[in-house]
Amino acid sequence: MSYFHTGGCKDSCCLKVQNVSVKIGEDNVLQDINLHVHCGQMVALIGPNGAGKSTLLKALLGQRDYDGVIIFSVPGQRRVKARIGYVPQSPAFDPGDPLSVADLFACCLSKRPAFLGLTKSLRTQVLECLERVHGVDLIDKRVGTLSGGELQRVLLALALEPIPNILILDEPLSGVDIEGMTNLMDMLDEIRKKFDLSILMTTHDFSMLPKYADTVVLMDHRVLIQGDPQEVLDSEEFRRAFHMKEDC
Ligand code: ADP
Ligand code: MG
């Protein structure tokens, strides 16, 4: 097993996954996964429930042991550790929880106890972070009362501080209404272009893929097909993976 960061962006790749396998107990959850995320591209990882999508993301984050090779590159820089931003699958917050968005940022960005409140400079930093997701107005809202789309924007703002080289999101569109989905995808697209960010995300919302993704990877424990979004969505592999009939 190896997990290392290397300089240069050979073949314009920001992330290379080579023959990655994960076994949990007796189950081969991932088998010989190969994929590349090119610099500045958005790659969508799709597959049925239990296909191993989240497991692959955990392997990338170093939270799961694996066999194979994972290489992160930072364009134009040698031996620089790639920064990874991660938006987890929507955590549930209690609507009665008094934690505000400002408190959440204070916990993540500062060692100062959140109950002491934000210093002026930290509040300015939080507002700058929220500005990136057009969410300045959310700063004093309680996290438990945010809509699905608002919570995703707050989690995204946290993952973007500091700006990473690659952004990994696990089902950011689940629990978000259709308008919120479009807003979130537009925002990811804007951020990707602005910061030349590579994005790898899992999703079940295939309608968004042709417009926003550069590449779609369909997996079910192993990669079934990857490439142009429309080609993957029209493929026999896609129909079989989701048990769809020929005329669907
Ligand atoms: P997906 O995200 O595609 O729905 P997951 O990566 O969450 O799939 O899970 C893939 C398989 O691995 C599932 O069968 C799941 O039950 C199993 N799995 C994932 N994490 C664990 C774990 N911590 N312990 C046991 N089995 C797990
Ligand atoms: Mg998952």
Nearest CA to ligand 1 atom 23: 24
Find all residues with CB under 8 Å of 25, minimum gap 6, and list them.
none
CA distance 215 to 227: 5
Cα 123 to ligand 1 centre (Å): 38
Which helix (H) or strand (E) element contains residue 167? strand 166-170
Cβ 172 under 6 angstroms from ligand 1: no
Q: Which of 22, 23, 24, 202 to mutate to test the pocket of ligand 1 (most atoms within 8 A of CB)?
A: 24
CA distance 105 to 52: 30
The maximal CA–CA distance of the chain, rounded, in angstroms, is 61
Q: Decide: 174 in ligand 1 pocket, CB within 6 A.
A: no
* Backbone torsions φ then ψ of 204, nearest 5 degrees: -110, 0
- What would the two tokens of residue 21 be? 């396998």
* Ligand 1 neighbourhood includes 60 CB (under 6 angstroms): no
CA distances from 205 to 4, 36, 66, 83, 226 (A): 32, 22, 28, 27, 17
Identify the nearest ligand to the CA of 53 by its number.
Answer: 1
**pLDDT tens digit sequence for 132-163:** 999 999 999 999 999 999 999 999 999 999 99
pLDDT band, very low/low/confident/very high, at 248 (cuts 50, 70, 90): low
Atom of ligand 1 nearest to the CA of 219: 3
> Would you call 222 helix, strand, or coil by DSSP?
strand
**Element (H or E) spanning 192, and its range?**
helix 178-195
Look at residue 118 in the predicted model and tell me its pLDDT. 81
CA of 206 to the centre of ligand 1 (A): 21
Nearest CA owner, ligand 1 atom 26: 24
pLDDT digits (tens, 9 = 90+) for 182-230: 999 999 999 999 988 999 999 999 999 999 999 999 999 999 999 999 9
Angle at 210 between CA 160 and CA 35, to 5 degrees: 65
Q: Please state the rounded mean pLDDT for residues 48-72.
A: 96
Separation of alpha carbons 131 and 138, rounded Å: 10
